Structure 1
Amino acid sequence: MADTLPIGYRFCPSDEQAISYCLAPKVKGEVVFPEFIHEFDVYEKEPWKFFDKNAEESLYVFTKLKMKKSRVERTAGSGYWRGAQSSDVKDCHNNVIGLKKHLNFKVKDGSSSNSQNTEKGSWIMHEYSVPNQEIVMCKIRFKEKKAVENKALQYFSARLSELEKIIGLRILPTSTTKSMHVAKTSTWNHQRECHCFRVLMLSGIYWTA
């Protein structure tokens, strides 16, 4: 992908641009820019067999959906693409121009085929479609678990620091109960404390009053 664009440019279209300037021309039989978006059957095999999970950029391809009666067949090798959520894609005039589906690749239960390719993260696919068309545009990438967990921990650490400043309390973690207890200061009373705190669960850590 990098060799087809000028130095310093990256292909990172918005949802609207992906449908308006890439998928829409494709289904109409028109010339698609950029030309490096090729047709490929993403359901032919597992994602790690056709895309490098260490790649810095996402993979964009056109694929034809395989219909099984009234539903889409999403089996791919030793696993399948499972839909998590979907949302309408709108243009600048707030008109719905297509649909964006968020899917995750799951290895079938009992399958030992390349399961190590999913245990350190998750394969994610965004599928862009327009009404009454079997050709869709897919954006595929690999997201490491560590990156997701670190981002969440950083977010909640920042929120905890803000909370400590606002209410005048200090959060003390304990290793035996895996809970975070609140240490009262001279400016806070126990009655108000009980009304302010609720349980927060994050990666097995409980935050309680």
Structure 2
Amino acid sequence: MDTNESCVPPGFRFHPTDEELVGYYLRKKIASQKIDLDVIRDIDLYRIEPWDLQDKCRIGYEEQNEWYFFSHKDKKYPTGTRTNRATMAGFWKATGRDKAVYNKSKLIGMRKTLVFYKGRAPNGQKSDWIMHEYRLESEENGPPQASSSSNILAY
């Protein structure tokens, strides 16, 4: 058996809500707590092209069109706050407004939508690859935690 393949029971489908991704999976990952079932892999998003993610992040059934993974944010400059979202073949560009993620009425995180562009900015060619990046909110109305990023790729 391939070590990259998760062991999940037959018929298992992983389709968590935004609230579950932030409130359970991401919160436990940031706190270094055990997650009950190993269904979200750790990867280095900036060393993998979007079309190679399926093999690394698939959870056990072929028809899955969403892949889930944890990846640390890469900084453009060591002392700065700008995020580096470039790969060898292109870059992930944020689009639209961030969407708030709530647990009941409490803000627990934010979801950012990114689109992959082939080539280099500002002349990159837009692709069909879309990713949602989730982050925890450290306090209600407070700034997000810099290292608390989980990425979800959907095609």
TM-score tier (shorter): 0.7 to 0.9
- The answer to whether the aligner puts 1:79 opposite 2:90 as a matched pair is yes
Deviation (angstroms), 1:3: 5.7
User: Which of the two has higher C-alpha Rg?
Assistant: 1
Amino acid at match of 2:102: K
RMSD: 2.5
CA positional deviation for 1:2: 8.3
- What do residues 101-132 of structure 1 show as CA deviations (whole Å, max 9, x unaligned)? 1111001259xxxx8xx7xx611111111121
Distance 1:91 1:50 in 2: 29
User: What runs of 5+ residues in structure 2 fail to find an aligned partner?
Assistant: 56-61, 137-143
User: What corresponds to 1:60 in structure 2?
Assistant: 68
77, 84, 88: which one pairs with 2:100? Answer: 88
Match of 2:38 among 31, 35, 38: 35
1:61-97 Cα shifts (integer Å, max 9, x gaps): 10000112221111111100011121110111x1110
- Alpha-carbon displacement from aligned partner over 1:109-168 (angstroms, at most 9, x marks no partner): 59xxxx8xx7xx6111111111214142111122xxxxxxxxxxxxxxxxxxxxxxxxxx
> Partners of 1:96 and 1:28 in 2: how far apart?
18
Q: Tell me the residue number matched to 1:44.
A: 47
Say if 1:81 and 1:33 are closer, same or farther in 2 by CA, change over 3 A.
farther
Whose strand proportion is higher, 1 or 2? 2
* Gapped regions of structure 1 (runs ≥ 5): 143-209
- Equivalent residues in 2 for 1:154-165 (5 A)? none
Q: One-letter code of the match for 1:134?
A: S
Percentage of pairs with the same residue? 29
* 104, 107, 111: which one aligns with 2:118: 107
The structure with the greater share of residues assigned to helix is 1
- Aligned equivalents of 1:95, 1:89: Cα separation in 2: 9
Question: Contact (CA 8 Å) 1:2, 1:10: kept in 2 or not?
Answer: no
1:146-200 per-position Cα deviation (integer Å, ceiling 9, x unaligned):
xxxxxxxxxxxxxxxxxxxxxxxxxxxxxxxxxxxxxxxxxxxxxxxxxxxxxxx
| TM-score computed with the length of structure 1 as normaliser | 0.57
How many residue pairs get aligned? The number is: 132
Where does structure 1 differ by over 6 angstroms across 4 or more consecutive aligned residues? none
